[in-house]
Amino acid sequence: FETREVFLKNLNRPFGMLVLNNFFYVANTDGLYRYPYNNTALKLETQGTKVLDLPAGGYNNHWTRNIITNPEGTKIYISVGSGSNVGENGMDKEVRRAAILEINPDGSGEKIYADGIRNPVGMDWNPINKELWTAVNERDDLGDDLVPDYITSVKKGGFYGWPYSYFGNILDPRMKGERKDLAAKAIVPDVSVGAHTASLGFTFYTKNAFPAKYKNGAFVGQHGSWNRAKISGYKVVFVPFANGKPSGKPEDFLTGFVANEAKAEVYGRPVAVTVMHDGSLLVNDDSGNTIWKVTAKK
């Protein structure tokens, strides 16, 4: 049978969720909250506690705040997108933004884990080498084919270029040579997944239900472009990995969301991707208001 309940209400643009130490955490766009939780609950009606304020507002609704714990459950990582396209409102408005934050489960001990990451959203841990990985939306207004979105490993203390450079030390001409010192040390992302694809969802596949080629590879949910002459994204792609490293180009995995490419009409827009215990893949579609379940043929 199927049961549908409003699990938790009166939130402010919630996105990331996790369960840790008998608490349910939810990341609103302006703060991280936690609620007492047990796994039999169909709804939460207890009062939550804000454990951390988060910066909100800004460019093109970079409002998603995703959360993930480390494997030990001792830290929480929070993805926070930039408040602008390329810092045009001043970098003083970008404090704690374009970054992945690290905190203790009670909200204390905040650190910038990595920054210069324009709009990180999906996150997961590489099952082979235990590195943190993320999917990132890159900047706009440099043309249809710049700058590619990407997935990448995230180095502790690493700087990934935004807004001064992209894909390493390629300088953004709009920044007019500012902070070449930072651009010079910018880390080159691991895998390009196409310009303006709005790659949001990210997960490694660690189950055995799909064919062997998918084991330990990555799925990426692409929400789709809004500012490109020919639309891009609107699908789920797969990136093969071998020995913990990308081993091939992204390939289409789940398509059919585009109704009319010439008119930029679509049936839906994939966002998050999640692997279930049975090895199936869930894909949520926030335009079609649908959760898709992908299973292997038997």
How many Å apart are CA 89 and CA 276, to the nearest integer? 41
CATH topology of domain 1-130+148-191: Neuraminidase (2.120.10)
Which residue stretches of the chain have pLDDT < 70? 1
Q: What is the largest CA-CA distance in the chain?
A: 60
Contacts of 106 (CB under 8 A, 6+ apart): 51
> Nearest 5°: phi and psi at 61?
60, 50
Give residue 92's pLDDT.
Answer: 96
Domain spans, the chain = 1-130+148-191, 196-298
Contact 55, 95 (CB under 8 A): yes
How many Å apart are CA 10 and CA 8, to the nearest integer? 7
Residue ranges with strand state E in 84-131: 99-103, 111-115, 120-125
Distances (CA, A) of 75 to 68, 104, 113: 8, 5, 11
Helices marked H in the chain = 180-184
Give residue 33's pLDDT.
Answer: 98
pLDDT in tens, 211-251: 999 999 999 999 999 989 999 999 999 999 999 999 999 99
Planar angle of CA 151, 18, 103, nearest 5 degrees: 75
Give residue 5's pLDDT.
Answer: 85
Contact 77, 70 (CB under 8 A): yes
Give residue 55's pLDDT.
Answer: 96
Please measure the distance between the N-terminal and C-terminal CA atoms of the chain and give it in whole angstroms. Answer: 23
In the block, which residue shows the tokens 């045009």? 88
pTM of the model: 0.96
Both tokens assigned to 254: 């789940």
Planar angle of CA 48, 53, 59, nearest 5 degrees: 120
Give residue 139's pLDDT.
Answer: 97
Give residue 159's pLDDT.
Answer: 98
